[in-house]
Structure 1
Amino acid sequence: MTSRFIAALLSAERPLVMEVKRRDAHGIDLMSGRTPADIVAGYEAAGAPCISVVTGRWFGGTPDLLRDVARLTELPLLQKDFITRRDQIETAKTLGASAVLLTAALLPATSMRTLVTAALRTGLTPFVEITGEAELENVPHADECVIAVNNKDIKARERDAGDINRSLTLLPAVTAAGTPCPVSASAIDTPQTAARLLSAGYKGLLIATALLRAADLHDWPTTSSAARHAPAA
């Protein structure tokens, strides 16, 4: 059975996981005087299928932010934080998450297997973030997971510019792993870049900073507009 988070993303006209994040990787404020309610309302108006909520302290997040957003919307929510223990998965569910981030680059293989299984048993979608093909070998139940390619370097706290070519190169391997929902995440800075990734075959994109700074969220592509707006390869 397809999870609510995955189903929402696969059926969306604009398949963007739109993110609520207080600060970027360099500590710069992204809220610009807005409240979470302001941001969520804007995302809903733009047709967001899912919302990511960054609770990690690197980016000024707290668990309360997830709870607050869950009270504002019925959309499926992804908790973005460094999940390393099973009790954190239980907490995510209590706070209102539908999915949890699991970062392959930071988790031993045994921990990845344990946490994916625990998330599924709890009713949460594992949102598994990878940066290389070898990391796919440690992902069990890939057919029940979102597998997302992070275009930035998590070990550098995502302070690098990122490389979209990582997503383009890894897409065949991610698809072959069995996920129904390959996602490209981070460093997606323009609607044109988003269109290129959707046109290449990604079923969803996770975007934070660019959306939080966007003048009009409706400028970002839909599935029907991606091919004609994607730049030539």
Structure 2
Amino acid sequence: MTTILDKIIDKKREEVAFLKKSALTYKTDRIPTSFYDRIIASKTIALIAEVKRASPSKGDINLGVDPVEQATIYAQNGADAVSVLTDTPFFKGTMDDLKAVKANVEIPLLNKDFIIDEIQIDRAKASGGDIILLIAAALNDEEMHRLYRHSKEHGLDVLVEVHNEAEMERALALEANIIGINNRDLHSFKTDLAVTERLLSQYGKEKAIFVSESGIKTKEDAIRLKEAGARALLVGETLMLAGDVAATVRSLKVEL
């Protein structure tokens, strides 16, 4: 049975083929801003606040959002990084969104996309990304190791995303220092904060920093995940729909 993730990756292959056929090069001497260092220095749970217009699971979320305005509010109210969705077919984001945010916000930026090839990593760095995402469910071991190594060689932080024990073992085999636990199953799209609790009850003593992703709505959720062992949160939909974005950002920055 073909899943949404399968469809997304098929589209990414087409995108990568186009980038390579276009003979585009993405060279930059820019030194990325470290998200890892920011987490280590933080006395509160770190927050990756996301700019997301739409998603396959929720449909249109906030199509009229101004990415720069949204990211600026995030940064001014204590967010530690901004995640910018750059996938167009499924999330209605663009690389121009990432570039625009980078020109206006100083905190680290996550290029939130489905990375399957080195050319996407080079493009991410050249466009202002400081962090890239590698999704274990979308990559085999050879791909993960190769893309992780390429990212680190170019000074980028890497958020390695997992959802279950098998994927966690693969992330740890990379010696990844930032591991995201996605509470949303990318096949069924069911969301459950207990996924973070379950995995950290088993792996919480590992050296990596753990980021809990998806389904986080309230300060109480942030406290729950902090108590489970998460050092950072990735929050998108809640912030995109918030009546008071600034207050919502502040509320999620709970003391460690």
TM-score, reference length from structure 1: 0.86
Shift of 1:10: 3.1
Shift of 1:11: 2.7
Deviating runs (4+, > 6 A) in structure 1?
A: none
The equivalent residue for 1:10 is: 40
Count of residues in Structure 1 that have an aligned counterpart in Structure 2: 217
Deviations 1:46-101 (A, max 9, x none): 11111111112311112211111111111101111110111111111101111100
The equivalent residue for 2:103 is: 71
2:59 to 27, 38, 52: 27
Question: Partner amino acid for 1:67?
Answer: K
The equivalent residue for 1:132 is: 164
Query: Any gaps of 5 or more consecutive residues in structure 1?
Result: 227-233
The equivalent residue for 1:230 is: none
Give the alignment of 1:95-134 within 5 angstroms.
95-134=127-166
1:56 to 71, 87, 104: 87
Question: Partner amino acid for 1:202?
Answer: A
Q: What is the DSSP-based 3-state SS (H/G/I as helix, E as strand, rest coil) of the residue aligned with 1:88?
A: helix
The equivalent residue for 2:6 is: none
Question: Partner amino acid for 2:51?
Answer: V
Shift of 1:141: 4.2
Give the alignment of 1:1-233 within 5 angstroms.
4-12=34-42, 13=44, 15-24=46-55, 25-31=57-63, 33-57=64-88, 58-139=90-171, 140-142=173-175, 144-156=176-188, 158=189, 160=190, 162-179=191-208, 181-216=209-244, 217-219=246-248, 220-224=251-255
Quick one: distance in 2 between partners of 1:177 and 1:55?
A: 31
Quick one: distance in 2 between partners of 1:221 and 1:73?
A: 20
Deviations 1:143-187 (A, max 9, x none): x5310110112234x4x3x011010000144434431x1010011
Deviations 1:184-230 (A, max 9, x none): 00111222112210122210000000012223343423332x7xxxx
Larger Rg: 2
Q: Taking every aligned residue pair, what percent have the same amino acid on both sides?
A: 33
Does the 8 Å contact 2:47/2:81 carry over to 1?
A: yes
Q: What is the DSSP-based 3-state SS (H/G/I as helix, E as strand, rest coil) of the residue aligned with 1:74?
A: coil
Does the 8 Å contact 1:14/1:48 carry over to 2?
A: no
Quick one: distance in 2 between partners of 1:178 and 1:67?
A: 32
Deviations 1:86-134 (A, max 9, x none): 1111111101111100000110111111111111001111100001111
Quick one: distance in 2 between partners of 1:192 and 1:171?
A: 18
Question: Partner amino acid for 1:108?
Answer: N
Quick one: distance in 2 between partners of 1:120 and 1:101?
A: 12
Counterparts in 2 of 1:116 and 1:175: CA distance versus 1, 3 Å: farther
Query: Any gaps of 5 or more consecutive residues in structure 2?
Result: 1-32
Quick one: distance in 2 between partners of 1:131 and 1:30?
A: 26
Does the 8 Å contact 1:100/1:126 carry over to 2?
A: yes
Counterparts in 2 of 1:212 and 1:14: CA distance versus 1, 3 Å: farther
Question: Partner amino acid for 2:192?
Answer: D
Does the 8 Å contact 1:113/1:138 carry over to 2?
A: no
Shift of 1:26: 2.6
Counterparts in 2 of 1:42 and 1:14: CA distance versus 1, 3 Å: farther
The equivalent residue for 1:229 is: none
